[in-house]
Structure 1
Amino acid sequence: MFFSGVQTSRGELRIHESLDDLSADLVEYISELSDASVKERGVFAIALSGGSLIGLLGKLCEVPYNKTIDWAKWYVFWVDERVVAKSHADSNYKLAKDGLLSKVPLIPSHVHSINDCLSAEEAASEYDFGIRQLVKTRLISVSDISDCPKFDLILLGMGPDGHVASLFPNHSALGVEDEWVTFITDSPKPPPERITFTLPVINSASNVAVVATGGAKAEAAHLAIDDVDMGPTSLALPARLVQPTTGKLVWFLDNQAASKLDGIQFSA
C-alpha cells in the first residue's frame, strides 16, 4: 500500500509498504530537487543527518542517478554531528562517506564536515562561521523572512522519542534562536557531545524531509503529524516543531511508522 501526496496540516505524507519502495521514492525526490536547484541556482546545498537514513540513500550510487545527477554542483553539510574523530564508528561523516559520498563523483572541497579536532563548542562555532561565509557568497541561499541560511534540502531522521537532528525533547537547545549551529554536551543518546543546526535553520530550508521507519516510531509520528493538542508539552516532541516557514515539508514513512496516524487505513 502506497499513499502518495497525502496533504495534511503538517506537510505531505508519502507512506510505503516496504523500505525498498521508500528508498526508491526518497532517492527520486532528492534527484528531482537536485535537478531543479541546479537549474535555478547552479548549485544544490543539502544537509544530511545520520542514523538509518543514510542506508536508505544507497540507490543514489546506482544507475541512473550516479550518471544523471550533476554531482559537481552538490554541496554537502550535516544537520548534526557527533563530536568524535571522522574515523570513529559514531561519526555521521564516516557513515555518509562510507555509504554514499565515496561512491559518487562529488568534489571533495564541496563536502563540509566539522573540525573533529575541536571541542563541541568550538566545532559548532566554526561550523556556524563557515556557513555564514557561504551565505554571504549566496552559495547557500538566505531566507526572505530571517537572516537564516536557506538550504535547498534538509534531510532528517526521527527517533522514537521524537527527536530530530540532535535536538532532544525538553532540551535547552530547542530554544536557541540567535545561532545557526549550537552544541550539546549532554545528549541522552551517546555520544554525549554533538553539534546541531538550530530549529530556525531547519525551518528556513526550501525543503525538509523527515524519514521514519519501524513500529517504534509510530507513536512519535502520530504526535508529530496528527492534529493533536500537545498543550504546553510541545517541547517534548521536537519533530512537531519542524514547521518550515515558507518551504515544503515531506514525511517519508513505512507502514509500521504510519500505523497510528489518524485517517490512514491499511488493507489486510
Structure 2
Amino acid sequence: MPHTAPNPLVLFSFPSSAELTDALANFIVKAQKEAVEKKGRFTVALSGGSLPKQLAALINHPGVKWDKWHVFYADERAVPLDHEDSNHGLAVRELFSKIPASQPQPTIHTLNPEYLDDLEELADQYEKELIQEFAMKDSARFPIFDLILLGIGPDGHTCSLFPGHELLSEEDRWVAYIEDSPKPPPKRITFTFPVLNHAARIAFVAADAAKADTLHTVLDEPEKGLPASRVRPAHPGQLYWFVADAAAEKVQFARTPFKL
C-alpha cells in the first residue's frame, strides 16, 4: 500500500529519460521565473555524477534566462577545475559549454584552485563565496537557495555526505571538507545539512535502475537514516524527487502526477 512519510515530499516518476529531463527542465524554469520575479536573480546549486546530463533539456528551453543564474556546486572535488573528476568540469562539458555564445552566460561560482592543498582553507574560501552572495543580501543564518539539484549514490550518500561520517552531524558550517571520502577522489568540499535544509526547493534526480534498492530504503524506510533521507527542507512540500520508473520499481511511496 503506498504511503507518505511524516515529512512531506513529492515523488514524480517517468517512463522514459526524455520525459524525465523535459519535466525537470520545465520545473527548473518555473523555479527560475518565480525567483527572478521576486528578487531579480536565481540561485541554484548542482551536484555531480549523472545530474549534469539530466539537465540537457535546458539548453534549448526558451524560458531559461542564463544571465540571471548564480550557480554553485553542492559539493566539489579538490582537483583542478578542468580535471576529469571535477564537478565543475563535468557541468561545463555536459551543460554550460553548450550554451550558445550569442546568449547571456550564467555566473558560476567555483572553488578557488589556489587552495587545493589546504582543504580547510578551500572550504573557507567557498563559504566566503556563499556569504558574499547570500549573507550580504538576505541576512540569513544560512543561505536560502532557490533550488538545489542533487543526485544519490548507491550507498544513499548525497553531496559528499556519506553514511556514518562525522560530517552528518555538522550544524554550524556552511561548507565543510572531507579528506577520507569512501568514494574517490578522497579530498572534497561539501555543503552541510543546514545549508541543504534551508533551501526553498530541493530536487533529487535518479534515473538509474541500479539504484532501485537505494531509493526504496531512502523513500520507504527513512528511519534508517541514509544521508539522502536526511534532506528535509524547512519549507513543507518543497522536496521533490524526479525518478525513472525503473529506478522507482521497488518504491512504495505514493507517486504524484507531474504538472506545473
TM over 0.5: yes
- Which residue of 55, 58, 66 maps to 2:56? 58
Q: What SS does structure 2 have at the residue aligned with 1:137?
A: helix
CA distance in 1, matches of 2:40, 2:153: 34
Q: Of 144, 157, 162, which residue of structure 1 is paired with 2:156? A: 162
Q: Which amino acid aligns with 2:178?
A: I
Task: Give SS of 2:29's match.
Answer: helix
Among 207, 228, 251, the residue aligned to 1:261: 251
Q: Which amino acid aligns with 1:169?
A: P
CA deviation map 1:233-267 (0-9, x unaligned)? 52xx10110000125000011112111111669xx
Q: Secondary structure at the match of 1:94?
A: helix
Preserved CA contact (<8 Å) 2:175 2:192: yes
Q: 1:156 to 1:203 in 2, by over 3 A?
A: same
Say if 1:11 and 1:71 are closer, same or farther in 2 by CA, change over 3 A: same
Cα pair distance change 1:106/1:179, threshold 3 Å: farther
Report if the CA contact (8 A) 2:13-2:248 is conserved.
yes
Aligned to 1:3: none
Count matched residues: 246
Alignment RMSD: 1.9
Structure 1 gaps, min length 5: 1-5
Amino acid at match of 2:129: G
> Structure 1 residue 111 and structure 2 residue 108: aligned?
yes
Pair 1:219 & 2:216 matched? no
Cα distance in 1 between the residues matched to 2:250 and 2:139: 37
- 1:151–1:106: structure 2 CA closer, same or farther, 3 Å change rule? farther
Aligned to 1:127: 126
Report the equivalent of 1:72: 67
The TM-score with structure 2 as length reference comes to: 0.89
Please give the TM-score of this superposition, normalised by the length of structure 1.
Answer: 0.86
CA distance in 2, matches of 1:56, 1:124: 27
Q: Which runs of 5+ in 2 are unaligned?
A: 256-260
1:30 maps to: 28
TM-aligned CA distance change 1:229 to 1:22, over 3 Å: closer
The separation in 2 between residues aligned to 1:255 and 1:148, in whole angstroms, is 35
- 1:136 and 2:135 aligned: yes
- Native 8 Å contact 2:11 2:254 kept in 1: no
Secondary structure class of the residue paired with 1:186: coil
Amino acid at match of 2:227: P
Map of 2:41 onto structure 1: 43
SS of equivalent residue, structure 1 residue 31? helix
